[in-house]
Structure formats: structure tokens, C-alpha cells
Amino acid sequence: MSMDLSEFLDVFLEECFEGLEAMESGLLNLDEGTDLEEINTIFRAAHSIKGGSAAFGFDQISEFTHVMETLLDQLRSGRRQVDRDTVDLLLASVDVLREMVEGLKDDTGPDEAVVADLRKRLEAAVNQAPAKSQSDPEPTPAENETEPSAGDKGPEEVRTWRIFLQPSPEMFRQEDDPVRLFRQLRKLGELKVETLLGELPPLDELDPTTCHFSWRITLRTGAGERAIRELFAWIGEPRRLEIEPAEESDRSPEPDSNTETGLDNAEARAERKKSEQDVPEPEPAIEKDSPASAEEKPPAKAKSARSSQNRESNSIRVSTEKVDLLINLVGELVITQSMLNQVSSQLAQQGGPEVEALFNGLAQLERNTRELQENVLQIRMLPISFAFNRFPRLVRDVSRKLGKRVELVITGEQTEVDKTVLEKIGDPLVHLVRNAIDHGLELPEVRTATGKPETGRLELSAQHESGNIVIRISDDGAGLNREKILKKAIERGLVSEQEELSDERIDNLIFLPGFSTADQVSDLSGRGVGMDVVKRNINDLGGTVSIQSEPGRGSVVTIRLPLTLAILDGQLAQVGGETYILPLISIMESLRMRPQSLKRIAGTTEVYHFRNQYIPVIRLNHLFGIPGGTESLEEGLLVVVETDGQLAGLFVDRLLGQQQVVIKSLETNFHQLPGLSGATILGDGRVALIVDVPGLVQLHHDQQNHRAATLVAVS
């Protein structure tokens, strides 16, 4: 029977990426000091990737990871000291390993030359004899009475080894494959394996996920004990492992006389269980000063961490397609609920017990629907730490390249946000963090000269505010040079010399396309791309971005985003016979206009004096070509919105109330329209379009510029 492994492969790839994140995070923590538990965490992640890749037949990944694992084992056993060069080498190995795993998704491969070079460096580091610590005491004569370790004998001496292996009962659940272990042992020499079935329970008590086997192995090889023990790292931490030369094991008692045939009777099984309760489990027979002792007896912390990792998980893996389908169905349920409410309001005039019972049932349905909707949306919510975890490595690499010292502080990493928002916010954050290090933070000598500490502070924070998520990237660097920014903007024709701009407007000029103040083009900055892409990507998510800066004190970039892209808190506005949804996140306030505050520029462009500044008035009925809308500005309402640090006024007939609406994609059902981000279905079954405020303001500016150019051409 053939089996489709594609589903299992997706799970394996996801676990690989999680393991790689854990390895990278742990290695970065090692920069700040040696932590044995951190090393064990990194080692376990590498071991899981190696075992899974071997099970799927990805030999290049498993063999490469095996070399990494060997180097990590030297660190955790204390045979090698943690230093910066080793951490750098392992971080580079994680990068290459990530390329290998990503290549499995899109059928591409890493640079083979890079892989081969890095593997040689890893092997050279493994084979390099670690320097003996001066604090290690010299062995006493009593400690040297035994024969030298077999691992120290030359490879030319062929010996017979007796091996007894009793693995952990969790071996199968850890995806450890003993057959692969035997294949690797066979490569070392002549191999004989005897399976011991003494612990095999009756069939009705058998758990197929628990390992009940032990093995007695005879190996004739020229390899030493250390080489043999390294192969057993494939199966994690066994309950019992004995590796002895044949002449020593012949003098030792058999590990279990009742398991000779594997078919012992009930009396023997009962006697063995009784003896196991009375006699403590023997420890592996290893020499006192052998390096393998550290391998076989890891610290208690590492063992407890491993056991906790093997506990049954309280979560399941579900594809995002299934979650999206569920959210879409719940959205349809919400729309149906709104329709029923509207119909029930028409029946309210009839009265009677039947109508009252109907109202009670609909009220209960509405509560249940709202609770269901909120809980389903929580399924897609993930902590923003998934996006923040990449930045310790990024800050480390960029700061070293620029010769700067940077302390990264992350707060609010457990703040939850929609998975789609999480995936799309990563690249904008990378641009902002790189710019903060490159342009904001000064070199150590410059900071010292200005009375600042040599190490700059870069803070990345996230929190919920008014139903939105707010992300801030702040630094204590030099701040923005407004004079230089304004000069560059005028040179590039982005603003005119006659314009009077506030400090906030000048700061936000850096988000204009093609804008850059870098004097030299480098691989980090200076090409005039990046910040405008940041703004566009954030606007596509229905969010806003702004910057505040104080010269000599630093800058703060603030990003406001909706928590989810499936549901929108909106303000319903009527324009003519149509209803539009204005996102509440963009609305500052609404007001009735005073005629004396309204001005016209060049006879066509209308602006309104609002809080000591003039803002453009955008008539939605003219912009969208809607007949029957209110023309008198005194009779309608002006909704003041903010985008990219600028204010604008949307003129509508009236406001109908606020409502949480389910967003339907225009691109999926129709095609993208400028100034609109989607659509929704109202309670009466009508379709209402959702306004894209940044796109709407840009569309208004484009129409004004086109009209002005047309007038110039005619005149």
C-alpha cells in the first residue's frame, strides 16, 4: 500500500523552521555568556532536524546537521569552550541549513560550494584538539590504574566490541530510527545484531508507539570507542548503553538472562519485573575520566528539558486554508445574522408572544454568533514574537558590519496579531530596524564625544491600543537632520521652496519614493528604496506609519495596524444612494463645516481651515461619480481622516452608525479599484464598498494634478 508523505513533509518542514529559530536564538544568547541549558536546547533542535531529515531520506541535510551536532556535543560536554568564532561558525551553518530546508519547499538547492566549504570548516573545528584548561587537575596515579580508553587506540587496531542498547521508551515518538543506526554501525565493520524481546508485553497491552526492544550488538571494527559512541547520538538519551571490548564484556554478567531467547514464559517475566522493582537500574559501564562520561550523563536540567519536550502536546497543526474557510463561513453567518435582525425589526410592530419569542431567540443567536466569531478569529492570532525573533541576529550582524555597538530591547513580544498581518509586517520592520542602526545610531566614538554611552539603545515594542496593534521602533541616536532632509527634497523636486512644512511633515518626507539622504550608496542604504516600500506595504495592510524625531535624542517610528484583516471596525457613511465603509482607524473626528472656514485655490481645489492648518476637501460623490449626492457643504458632514501624517476631509451626506463588517476581497470577486480596499454585505443584503483612505487621498491628488495640467494646456 502506497502512502502519501506530502502532509507529513509539510509538518516536518514547519518543525525544521521552528528548530532553526530555536538554534539561532540560542546561539545569539551564547554571545552573552555560556549557558549549559541553552547549549542543550540548541543540540536538541539540531538532533530533531537530523533525525527527521534522515527519516525522509534528505541525506545532505542529515549529514550536515550531524557535523553541527558533533561540534555542539563538544560544547555541552565541556570538551570545547564557547567562543565567538565557534558561535559565528554555527550561525553561518544555521543559515546554510535554512537554505537547504527552504530548497525542499520550492525544489531549489543551496550553493553546493558554500555547503562544502562550511562543512569542511565544521569538520576542522570538530577535529581540532581543544586546549586543556589550566584549572583541570592532573590525574592521580589511582585514576590511571585502568587501561587507556579504547577511543584513544589507533584506528589500525581491529577489535571486537560488545554493545548493549536499551533505548528510551519514547524512542519511536521522537522519530528516532534504530535501523539507520545499525546501517551506520555496519559501515564501521562486521556487525551482528540480536533483538531482545524480554520486555514485550502481551498483545492486548501492546502500545505500538512505545519501544519495548533492547539490542545486543557485536561489532568488529578498527574504530575507537569515541567514534562508536558518536553514532549513538542518533537515538537521543538511552536508558542503558554499554560499550566494552569483547575481552572485558566476556568477564561481565549478561545484562538480562531472561531475554536470551526473547520468548520467556510468564513466570520468568514476573520474576524479572519483581527484580526490576528491587534492584536499581545499572549505569553504563564507562571509565571515570573518559570524555564519553559527559555524553552519557548530561546534567539534570538537560534531561528534564528533554522529557518535558516529549510530553503530549495540547495543540494540533491545522493548515491555514482550513482556518480561512472557517473564518469565511463565520463571516457569512454574521451577515445572515444581520439580515435576520433587520427582518425582525420590521415584525416588531405586530407584537404578540410569537414575535417576542422570536426576538429572544434572535438575541441569543446574536450573542452566540458574536462569541463564535471572536473565538474563531483568535485561531489566526499569533504572538508578534514570531516577527520579532529575527531581529537579535539582524542587529548583531548589521552593528558589527558598521562598527557600532547596539543594545536591542524587545517588549510586548507576546502581543497577538493576525497571522496574515504577521507575515506581511516582517519586511517593513527589517527596513526600519536597519535604517535605525545605519542612519540613527552613531559610532561609539561619536556617542562618547557627545556624552552618550558607547552602546546605543534600539527598542522594539508592540501593544494593543483601541482595538489596533501599535508597533514602535525607537532609538537614542542622532535623530533626523531636518535641514538636510528638506534640502534633498527640494533638490529632487519632491517639495517646492515656497512650501512651509511643519517639523512632522519634514520628518515624514523620508517615506516619499526615491528619497534618500545617504551620501554614499552601500548594501545597507542610499539607493532611495525601502522607506517608501515600508509605507506602501503598511498601507496595504490598512495601517499607518509615522515618525517623530528629536535632534540629538533619537527617533520613534510608529506603526498602527488592525489586529485582523478579516474583520473591520467601520463607520457607515451615505453618499447619494450608496453606502460606504470608512475604517475607524483612520478617522479623527467628524463635523459640520463653517462657510467662513472654506477656501478655494485656483477656483477649483477646496480646502478647509481645521486646527490652524488647511486640509483638502474630497467630495466622494464627485470622486466616485455618484449622482444625487448633497452639493451644499453646509448640509453635509466632513469626516476628518489621517494618513501618512497628513489630514484630509471626506465630504459625505450623513453618517449611519458604526458597525463591525466582514471584509470581502475585490480582487477575488471582481478586480482592484483605486481608492477602495474591499467590500462587505450589509444586513439588508446590499453591497457596501470599503474605502481605502491612503489610496483615496492619492486618487484625489492625481485628479487635481491632472485637472491643473489640463487647464495649463488649454490656456
Distances (CA, A) of 223 to 129, 156, 235, 441, 657: 18, 8, 20, 55, 80
SS3 44: helix
47 labelled catalytic:
yes
Residue from 258, 435, 508, 539 carrying the catalytic annotation: 435
Q: Check 21, 69, 242, 295 and give the catalytic one.
A: 69
DSSP strand pairing (554-562 vs 646-652) = unpaired
C-alpha cell at 78: 565541556
Q: CA-CA distance, 710 to 714, in Å (whole number)? A: 6
- Name residue 84's amino acid: R
Q: Which three cell numbers mark 75?
A: 560544547
Task: Measure the CA–CA gap between 127 and 195, rounded to whole angstroms.
Answer: 34
69 is a catalytic site residue: yes
Angle at 463 between CA 461 and CA 464, to 5 degrees: 160
Q: Which cell numbers in the block locate residue 568?
A: 473591520
Supply 110's cell numbers.
Answer: 543551496
**Rounded Cα gap, residues 521 and 58, in angstroms:** 41
- Active site annotation includes 389: no
Alpha carbons 422 and 416: distance in angstroms, whole number: 9
DSSP 2: -
CA 476 to chain centre: 26
Half-sphere exposure of 394 (CA within 13 A, CB side): 21
Give me the DSSP letters along 313-325: PS-----HHHHHH
**d(C-alpha 710, C-alpha 622), whole Å:** 18
Cβ(433)–Cβ(474) below 8 Å = no
Distance, in Å, from the CA atom of 496 to the CA atom of 388, rounded to the nearest integer, reads: 39
Helix axes 59-76, 84-106, angle to 10 degrees: 160
With residue 485 as reference, give the H or E element that holds it: helix 482-491
Residues in a beta bridge with 680: 688
Residue whose grid cell is 589507533: 154
Per-residue burial over 519-543, b if 16 or more Cβ lie within 10 Å, else e, is: eeeeebbbebebbbebbebbbebbb
- Residue 322 has phi, psi (to 5 degrees) of -65, -40
Length of the chain: 715
The DSSP annotation for 78-131 comes to TSS---HHHHHHHHHHHHHHHHHHHHHHHT----HHHHHHHHHHHHHHHHSPPP
Choose the catalytic residue: 24, 47, 230, 508: 47
Q: Any idea which residues carry the catalytic annotation? A: 47, 69, 435
